[in-house]
Amino acid sequence: MRRFQEPLLLLATTNVGKRALIADQLDRLGVPYATPDTHPIPDVEETGATFFDNALLKAKACATATGLVALADDSGLEIPSLGGIPGVHTGRFARDAGGYDACFVKLENMLEGKDTTAIFTSHLVIAWPDGHFEHAKGTIEGRLVFPPRPGRGFGYFPIFAPKGSDKTFSQMEDDEILAYNHRYLAFQGLREVFTAP
């Protein structure tokens, strides 16, 4: 596994919610990083068939465009009883529904009488400008709960309760989220990249 030894890492996401957890982990490890706020990134079309494909597309495009080592994420929600949707179209599914509140109503209707098991998946890719990359994946199984339970966080957090908890992500404190969060689990798979041998 190649280790990150450069002076600056680009945290290549404009999604503030996604960025917060990863930034916190980088801070804990003392990894210097920049964001698109100061280092603009290209608008990468997510044409991949999988979360990994899209994370790799974004990381490589941002590394090439900026000359920095870039860390990108692609993640989403999969509902087995609905054939795996929304999957790689997780964000688009909510936008097409008219926003998250409308999306939650739509999902509740679609899941009537069906198993509400759901899986959150995150793929993180760190790519170097020379084309090399490292990759890690994190998944957490849970269930969807209705009505939504508003609180902290973003996206589908108000309706997702991870296995082993009666709380949704939106009801959890930071330490609780770290015990379950798919993005945090994926980051643990990359810790070796950021720690000295």
Each residue's pLDDT expressed in tens, for the chain with a length of 197 residues: 999 999 999 999 998 888 888 999 999 999 999 999 999 999 998 899 999 999 999 999 999 999 999 999 999 999 999 999 999 999 999 999 999 999 999 999 999 999 999 999 999 999 999 999 999 999 999 999 999 998 887 899 999 999 999 999 999 988 888 888 899 999 999 999 998 67
Residue with tokens 């969807």: 144
The CATH code of the domain at 9-194 is 3.90.950.10
List, by residue number, the catalytic residues: 74
Strand partners, 120: 77, 140
- The amino acid at 29: L
Question: What's the pLDDT at 179?
Answer: 83
- Residue 178: predicted pLDDT: 83
CA distance 76 to 64: 25
pLDDT for position 176 = 86
- Measured CA to CA, the distance from residue 86 to residue 73 in angstroms comes to 17
